Structure 1
Amino acid sequence: MDRVLRLAASSRDGHLALRRVERQQALIERLHAARGERVRMGELARELGVSPRTVARDVERLRLSGVPLDAYRGHGGGVRLLSTGAAIHLVLDLPEAAALISSLAVLGPTASESAASAMRKLAEALNPPSGEG
């Protein structure tokens, strides 16, 4: 494959990966809004503008990545985001926080309310007001 074709394929693959990340973030946001209730795959597919199979693949990728999702098969099936209760407290070192910031920057820190909130919290943690750090 010559250089131009490789660059075009790389660009397309990157664009598709970004679209997948954006869609998966929208999926998590939608399931969070359902407050632990099941949402049918067909409904999610219509809302996201993709096939139910694409939603199923996204759900499986997220689940394997550690996102607490339950998927149910069959006529009454669907997917739900498991509640973790209160806020999650993490301890991250600088490189870990920077990795998350760079990932959010690629997605776009305003891609969703939670992305914007996470970006703001990470930036505030790395840049405390003067007198605190």
Structure 2
Amino acid sequence: MNEEPTVDYRHAGDGNRKESPIVPRETSSDSRDNHLTLRRVVRQQRLIEILADSPLPVPTEDLAEKLQVSARTVERDRRRLVESGVPIVSVPGTGGGSRLPSHDKPAPLHLSFEEIAALIAALAALGPTETDSAQSAMTALVAAITPSQPRGLR
């Protein structure tokens, strides 16, 4: 059910009434939401990087300090990542915290064209890439779907 925009009656200086439609300002809340989403993505990327760099579990308080957020925000980010399939392990007790499973280096990826396109679209939806690694990922993804040029045209 489509409704007409609300009409705002604004008074001109001489008392005449003038109709003008109220147009929703998409930039105000949408821009704020996009900014918050981008900050969360950058923070979650950094959270994964911190855990990957540490051979031992990292306490929530240490993660909060490194990420410059509250422990509650770290827990929310951790939960979102786990729900998304990131294998973050919780280690209880003294010396506990969060960690990623042990690995020497990331396994090679074999992605379909559709999977690469989905990742490019997700990065593009966030706007300009905020980190060097995000920019590098975008460059690699685009290169993977761009046909290579014949030798004579390089």
Q: Distance in 2 between matches of 1:53 and 1:24?
A: 14
- 1:40-119 to 2 correspondences below 5 Å: 40-105=59-124, 106=126, 108-109=128-129, 111-113=131-133, 115-119=134-138
Structure 2 equivalent of residue 24 of structure 1:
44
How many residues are aligned here? 128
Q: Choose between structure 1 and 2: higher helix proportion.
A: 1
Deviation per residue, 1:21-46 (Å, 9 max, x gap): 11001111111111x32111111101
Q: Choose between structure 1 and 2: higher strand proportion.
A: 2
The higher-RCO structure (CA 8 Å, 6+ apart) is 1
Q: Distance in 1 between matches of 2:81 and 2:49?
A: 13
Structure 2 equivalent of residue 9 of structure 1:
29
Q: Distance in 1 between matches of 2:130 and 2:30?
A: 25
Q: Distance in 2 between matches of 1:128 and 1:85?
A: 32
Gaps in structure 2 of 5+ consecutive residues: 1-21
- 1:113-132 to 2 correspondences below 5 Å: 113=133, 115-131=134-150
CA gap of 1:11–1:117, structure 2 versus 1, over 3 A, is: closer
Contact 1:26 1:112 in 2 (8 A): no
Deviation per residue, 1:95-124 (Å, 9 max, x gap): 3212212323426446143x2442233222
Gaps in structure 1 of 5+ consecutive residues: none
Q: Match of 1:95, as an amino acid?
A: E
Q: CA deviation at 1:69?
A: 0.6
What is the percentage of aligned positions where both structures have the same residue? 44
Contact 1:21 1:107 in 2 (8 A): no
